[in-house]
Structure formats: C-alpha cells, structure tokens
Amino acid sequence: MPLEPEAGGTERITSLVAKGLSERGHKCLDILVLTEDGSMTYKGNPLSDLYMFLKEKEVDVVINQIAYAKWLLSEFLSRGGARWHAEGGRIISCLHFDPCNPSYIHLLRSYEHLSLKQYVSLIRQYMLKPYYRNKQQQSEGEIYNYIYENSDMMISLSETHFPYLKKVMQRNEYMKLHAIGNMLTFPYVAETEILKTKSKTVMVCARMSEYHKRITLILKAWELVKRCPIAGDWVLKIIGDGHDLPRYKRMVMKRGIVDIEFLGQQSPKSFYENGAILLMASSAEGWGLAITEGLQNGVVPVVMDSSPVYSDIIQNGYNGILTPDNDVKAFAKAVIWLISDDEQRRKMQINALESAMRFTSEKTIEKWSEALSLL
C-alpha cells in the first residue's frame, strides 16, 4: 500500500528508516507498490517493466517489508525482480511482526459473532489443538524458508524472535538472519519537564483490529478499573481506526463503561505528551511501537505479555509493567496500582524517559548502515 506514516507502526518505521538512511548518504527511492491483484505503481504512476525500472534507477537494494507472507516477494521476483537479483541486486526482507502468528482459534474468538460453521470449526480446533498447532508451524516454516532463501538478508525486530524462527525453519544455517529493533518515532526523548503536563489520562494507540490488538480486553479491564473509587476522574483515550471500531463503541454502550473517548486516526503526539499510562493487549507484536513512543514521552506502559520482544523494551516494575497474557484482572490491577500511587508512577515515568535513550534513531540507523555494508 502507499506509504502513510499515521496508518500504523510498520508505515511509520518505513518512513523513518528511509529518512535516516537518506541522511546517511543513501539514495532512497520511496515505495514501490505491488498488490495481490497484479498492479504495480511508483509514486502513484503505473509501472509496466519492473526490471527496466530497477536498472534505470540504478537500484542496489530492495527492502521487502512483508516477510510474513510469500506473495509480495514472489510477485516482485516474477515481474522482473529475479533477473535484477541474478545480476547483482540485493534483497532485504523485514519481518515487522512476531513470527509466531496467533492461532486460528484466536482468529475465530476475535469475531463478534460466529456462524454455525465457524462455531463447529472452533470446537474442532480446540479438540485437535496439537494437530493444528503443528500444521500452523509447518506452514510458517515454509513461508519463512522461502523468504530466507530468496533474500540476501532477513531482518527480525529482535533476537527474542530467533528461537521460534529456528524452530519452524529447521535449517542448518542462519547466516542471513539479523535483528534490528525499531527506532523512536519522534525525533527526541522528552525532558523531565514534560511530566508537569501529564493529566489523569490512560491511553491506547493502535489499529482498531480485534484479531491483532484485542481492544475488548482493554475495555473489560477499564470497566474493572472504573469500579475503583480512586480512578474516578481518570479517562481512557483511544487513538486509532479500523474495521472493529464500531464494535468497540457498541460494547462500551452496552456495558455502560464510562470515561472512554474514541478519537479516531490522528497524530498521537499530543496524547503521548499529556498521557500518564499506556495500555497494550495485542495478541502478538514484532516490537510494539506504541510502547517506545510512550517511553520517550514519559508514559508508563502496561502490557499483556504475549510476545517475547517486550522483555527487550520493558524492565518489569522499572519503566513499565508486564502482566500475564489474557489475564484481564491482573491487567486492571496493574493500572489501579499506578493510578493510586503518584510517587511510584512518577518514578517509573522518569525511568521510562531514561530507558528510551536505548532506541534513538542514531543507534538504529547505525545498525542499518552496518547491515547494508554486509551485502
């Protein structure tokens, strides 16, 4: 899809990496858009001959931003990319998600309503869980091996994802596998003065997709939080858009959950500046960009521990809180604790600012420059 930095984490990081590499002297040519229906465009203009485009633009490296599926790389190679690659072009494939995808059970459970066929399928998935888990891992292994074999480098967002990749790929070597974490979204780490602007605001910044972000768990947790008198004047602000947004609004109305504002898709900068606590309950994340966005603005993240990468970013109890996955009560309890203890919350906000320095753009782009030098 065309590059829209506000559309999501992958889009923002793509834009920031391109900008950072350009500042390092690399000539970044923007986004080549290939779609599953066969269309191909560059800067909005149709493109018919991919090979000639790559040669005329003197492209040395193409970065494939969808390393969780085969179709994009396959389409690129079949449309002229294979010839360019054989003549010395280099391909880097980036995996922006947790390589361990949520199960089909989770997908079905994320639906608001199930048909009879889907309900029967859900029961079958539960009864034969080991079989379907093995089947999923075989499918993922096939995908990642295809990406690996047809790329010159495969980049994950964290080395914490390597064990699962190696489990499903079952290769003899992984020389092309590297890890580069995401950089900070905003070009600064705020000073401690920002803490004076903090309001009694808990925030969510995410795509409104139940399968990926599990906003219903956050809403259920917030319902529990608001039963606590000390949370009386605290507000939950939700920034983001997506196909499940109407569902969440219906849920809030039906259950009578109070002090929630749905603010749609917009720049989250001012919300990070004013927010005190960030919530995340994703089914899986390759990184969790909202977490580091929060850290650099002194927002304490409370995160359901669904992916190993969180341990790269959050030091539990120091700059954020990790709670057991799927445990709504524990999640709500962590939020109530932060709300009720001003001194501890302020201490963790200061720690958040300090810890964000590990993810500056300078450090991340240096890793990208080192990776390019290896090609």
What's the pLDDT tens digit per position in 47-78?
999 999 999 999 999 999 999 999 999 999 99
Dist. CA 299–CA 132, nearest whole Å: 39
Q: What is the pLDDT of residues 238-297, one digit of tens each?
A: 999 999 999 999 999 999 999 999 999 988 999 999 999 999 999 989 999 999 999 999
Q: What is the pLDDT of residues 196-255, one digit of tens each?
A: 999 999 999 999 999 999 999 999 999 999 999 999 999 999 999 999 999 999 999 999
Q: Give this prediction's pTM.
A: 0.88
Q: How much of the chain is in helix, strand and coil states, percent to nearest 5?
A: 50, 15, 35
Ranges in the chain annotated CATH 3.40.50.2000: 192-359
CB under 8 Å to 115, separation ≥6 — which residues? none
Q: For the domain covering 192-359, report its CATH number.
A: 3.40.50.2000
Q: Which residues pair with 321 in a beta bridge?
A: 302
Q: What is the pLDDT of residues 72-104, one digit of tens each?
A: 999 999 999 999 999 999 999 999 999 998 776
Dist. CA 6–CA 240, nearest whole Å: 9
Please give the structure tokens belonging to residue 183.
């950089």
Three-state secondary-structure class, residue 183? coil
Of residues 93, 107, 105, the one with CA closest to residue 144: 93
Q: What is the pLDDT of residues 9-46, one digit of tens each?
A: 788 888 899 999 999 999 998 889 998 888 999 988 99
Please give the structure tokens belonging to residue 360.
């500056």
Q: For the domain covering 5-182+361-373, report its CATH number.
A: 3.40.50
Q: For residue 115, count other CB atoms closer than 10 A to its CB.
A: 9
